Amino acid sequence: MPTDLDVMTDPAGVDAIVAALEVGDAQWVKDGAARRLECSTTLGPVDVYTAVSGGLGYATVIEDAVPILIEGGELSVRVGSLEHVRDMRAAVGRADLPIEAVAPAAKHGAPRVVAIDGPAGAGKSTVARSVAEQLDLTYLDTGAMYRCVTLAVCQCRADTDDREEIGRIASTIPIEFGDGRVLLDGEDVSDAIRAAEVTEMTPHIAAYPEVRKAMIERQREFFSHDGYVAEGRDTGTVVAPDAPLKIYLTATPEERARRRSLETGGTPHQVQAALEVRDELDSNRELSALRVAEDAVVVDTTGRSIEDVVAEIATLAAERGVA
């Protein structure tokens, strides 16, 4: 048996495999959608996967895998093809891929995108900017795009209840990103879109399906031409479901409130109450609700430095071929 063996099984088959391999230490590990039991044996490490990301399932593998018997006839297993092995290792983001393996970012049609989603106050903007700088990718704040639509609505004094007109504005205004700035029709509006009036009105404007549809199309158009680190609330689930690396950035409610209170000047208690309302709205809205993508890597930033979090994400990006 080779060392560093990867095994995929139905969850019901784990115990039989562990017994047959005479496993010593074993530990369950969850990495996004991937779930594996890391085992130590006398012949080397064995990872027993019950799930991987990338759409490769156990049922798919066993369709054309070859049945064999482990020595002694105690355990019947099926050996997958080399293609299965490559796909599985790529699906779980393994750095030590076979030379012929195709990394997730190299899959046909995959955008060169690191998608970072998560609730307010988790540190998405700060982390995403730093990751983009380290990987030499463009930083895309999807929330800023909705703010641009709101600013444009304010500038032309459109009726904020006129869905058709607001949808037209969202579909036609030129929005660009570069050098850390946001441009609306060629004008730097990085500060203007953070004004109190825009901040207050943006949730109302962004709730229109016409606006969300227009922004999603814009974002996908961006992704088709260049590499991005994009942060938002539905980037990995709706906008770029094929992104080779999806991060769900989170932190404890107390930590998120503390960070946001430093930005707004409100008390942590007041801010936490507001964040709870925001989380409820984001998680239960009809369109593009906040949720963890099945193959996202959950990164908890509580008590961690920005540098530490950025280094982890940059490493994951390199493993998946994004960087």
| pLDDT tens, residue by residue, 229-271 | 999 888 988 898 889 899 999 999 898 888 888 877 888 888 8
In the predicted structure, residue 54 carries a pLDDT above the cut 60: no
CA distance 202 to 307: 31
DSSP string, 148-206: HHHHHHHHTT--TT-HHHHHHHHHHS-EEEETTEEEETTEE-TTGGGSHHHHHHHHHHH
The answer on pLDDT for 99 being more than 70 is no
What integer pLDDT is reported at residue 231 of this predicted model? 92
pLDDT, averaged across the chain: 81
Work out whether the CA dihedral 157, 158, 161, 167 comes out positive or negative: negative
Is the model's pLDDT at 55 over the cut of 60?
no
Categorize the per-residue pLDDT at 47 as very low, low, confident or very high, splitting at 50, 70 and 90: confident
What pLDDT was estimated at residue 147? 94
Say whether pLDDT at 83 is over 60: no
pLDDT of residue 291: 86
Q: How far apart are the C-alpha atoms of 307 and 129, rounded to whole Å?
A: 12
pLDDT value of position 2: 46
Asked if the model's pLDDT at residue 200 lies above 90, the reply is: no
Q: Is the pLDDT of residue 199 over 90?
A: no
Judged by DSSP in three states, 276 sits in: helix
Residue 315 in 3-state DSSP? helix
User: What Rg value do the Cα atoms of the chain yield, rounded?
Assistant: 23
Instruction: Examine the pLDDT at 63 and tell me if it is beyond 70.
Output: no
Identify which of 200, 194, 197, 198 has the alpha carbon closest to the alpha carbon of residue 181.
194
Encoding tokens for residue 67? 């049945």
Give the separation between CA 197 and CA 207, rounded to whole angstroms: 17
- pLDDT value at position 319? 83
Tell me what pLDDT residue 106 has.
Answer: 62
pLDDT > 70 in the chain, percent: 79
pLDDT of residue 120: 83
What whole-number distance in Å separates Cα of residue 270 and Cα of residue 214?
34
Q: Report the percent of the chain where pLDDT is more than 90.
A: 32
Q: Of 17-26, 122-131, 216-225, which gets the smallest average pLDDT? A: 17-26
